Structure 1
Amino acid sequence: MKNIFITTAIALLLFNCKSDKKHEFIEPVEEIVADTILVEEIDEKPIIDTIMKIEEVTEKPKKQNIKAASKPKEPFKNYLIESDIKITPIKHGTLVIDYNGTTIYVDPVGGIDAFNQHKAPNFILITDIHGDHLSVETLNAVNTGNTIIIGPKAVKEKLPQSLQKNFTTLFSGLSRSFSTSKMALEVEGIPMYNLREEAKQYHPKGRGLGYVISMNNKRIYISGDTEDIFEMRQLKNIDIALVCMNLPYTMTVESAASAVLDFKPKKVLPYHYKGTNGFSNVSRFKTLVNKGNNQIKVVQLNWYEGS
């Protein structure tokens, strides 16, 4: 019964609010009083609470907790680009440098198939006579009539006459300038040799060469097979350094990191890091370098298939 009376009271109140005053309906006094008494007897709190809840939902809808879509991870790019100079690892100590239509091969080995994604070389740099740096078969395959081969005297002596025609001999501490229609290139010979008595047989002083090549106002150091020699530690203004680290042939990651902290290149790429007992710990190399100087950026590229 109470519900009936409440409904009646609400309906009458709504009707009275909406009706025009000219047509205002006046109920008999007895009926109004009776309805009023009945409404007063009802607990109004549940009704008010319900109305307030309805208003809250209507006026302030809950915000949806939608997480922003995470950005897809960029695919790994196995090369470094610096000032339009692109450095691409091939394998171990072999790499390709491209700039403004000019292509440089460093220690090309592995046959023609290793370079099928690259243009024929304008220049070839060779650091030493060992098979992981010098391959006459590969040189014959990639060499063109316009290719200039640069290397130490010991390398030239290992080449057939057909490849010696375009060969330029470079000596430690000296530099040569070259140019094409699109760029100028300067190549400086840097000593490379072993320090440890048990390793001097691998790379005696005076036979092989590392290089500093300058192009587009950038200086790139290529260590070749060496230990942390005095000449390396004295290098200046190197933008990119490629530094070897493998035993027993070159040096430990600790020695490599120590030398890098001395000559302070802006960026360093560990390369030539596979020895007789597998891969050197290049992660430790990075940790040592960054701990000593966090301004030097260590760039880890993939120099070995499956590594």
Structure 2
Amino acid sequence: MKSHTLFLLGISLFIISCKDTKKEETTTNTENQETASTDKSTEKPISDLKIIPITHATAVLEYKEKTIYIDPTGGAKAFKNQKIPDIVLITDIHGDHMNIETLDSLDLEKSKLVVPQAVAERLPARYTKQLVIINNGEVKDVEGISIEAIPMYNLREEALKFHDKGRGNGYVITLGNERLYFSGDTEDIPEMRALKNIDKAFVCMNLPYTMTVESAADAVLEFKPKQVYPYHYRGSNGLSNIIKFRETVNKGDSKIEVVQLNWYPTMK
């Protein structure tokens, strides 16, 4: 009788031990899953760059602690809630790129204004000390950011009056490991087609001032940026056909991503 009791006690202890072991394994597996989940949630973002379309050729770039305005237009209202810029880039003398009223309405006291010579000559003297003059083919370091001036001009005979070669700048901006190209007002010039290692290209396409959708797509397919952002596509007859641009680029090279941002929020 005594031995029978001891036998039953031994079996009971064995069953309890097995349950505890299984409980420990379940707890360990749950902890491992939680650790994996925590590791995944702390992954770094893919990019530190934020791109904010304002309108037409106007944009705001935020990269880490730096803020850059591209061709600011639209007055103070257009930049409500935006950070004060460290750098302002202006591509050309026309009002949709160089807008003195907008510049005067913004807090630019500590900003560097990166401009071609033609723009510098037209800005009020109060901005002279803040100017960084850069002309076609030059590269300058501004606030720790590399900025290269790329030519922008017209090729078609009927459009030569709009943009003279050497007057305005497109820009290649290096932010971390990414190279961004802003075309400014241009056609599909050799200097654009010769660009290398562009991560994000902002390419204009509006008639009669710059180039056709077909020309823009053809140039993009030659210099092959990783991403292309159609911008500056309002012309004298309304908005250019961005769907056709995307389809043409994707048909020619499916690896190039066409990114559509809302540059004209008040237009359909």
User: TM-score band (shorter)?
Assistant: 0.7 to 0.9
Tell me the amino acid that sits aligned with residue 192 of structure 2.
Answer: M
The sequence identity of aligned pairs, in percent, is: 56
Structure 2 residue corresponding to 1:190, chosen from 150, 154, 159: 150
Tell me the amino acid that sits aligned with residue 168 of structure 2.
Answer: G
Structure with larger Rg: 1
Q: 1:111 maps to what in 2?
A: 75
Q: 2:265 maps to what in 1?
A: 305
Structure 1 residue corresponding to 2:135, chosen from 127, 148, 171: 171
Tell me the amino acid that sits aligned with residue 218 of structure 2.
Answer: S
Structure 1 residue corresponding to 2:179, chosen from 219, 223, 241: 219
CA distance in 2, matches of 1:138, 1:164: 17
1:159 offset after TM fit, Å?
Answer: 0.5
Matches within 5 A, 1:181-260: 184-260=144-220
Deviations 1:219-275 (A, max 9, x none): 000000000000000000000000000000000000000000000000000000010
Stretch deviating more after TM superposition (138-147 or 289-298): 138-147
Deviations 1:265-304 (A, max 9, x none): 0000000001000110000000000000000000011100
CA distance in 2, matches of 1:190, 1:84: 25
How big is the alpha-carbon RMSD for the aligned residues of Structure 1 and Structure 2? 1.1
CA distance in 2, matches of 1:203, 1:82: 37
SS at match of 2:137: coil
The answer on 1:280 being equivalent to 2:243 is no
1:177 offset after TM fit, Å?
Answer: 0.7
Q: Is the 8 A contact 1:83 1:216 kept in 2?
A: no
SS at match of 2:54: strand
Deviations 1:51-73 (A, max 9, x none): xxxxxxxxxxxxxxxxxxxxxxx
1:145 offset after TM fit, Å?
Answer: 2.3
Number of residue-to-residue matches in the alignment: 223
Q: 1:135 maps to what in 2?
A: 99
1:82 offset after TM fit, Å?
Answer: 6.4
Q: Is the 8 A contact 1:140 1:163 kept in 2?
A: no
SS at match of 1:186: strand
Distance 1:227 1:82, change over 3 A: farther
1:163 offset after TM fit, Å?
Answer: 1.1
Moved over 2 A (4+): none
SS at match of 1:284: helix
SS at match of 2:50: strand
Q: Normalising by structure 1, what TM-score?
A: 0.71
Please, which runs of 5 or more residues in structure 2 have no aligned partner?
1-44
Q: 1:88 maps to what in 2?
A: 52
Q: Normalising by structure 2, what TM-score?
A: 0.81
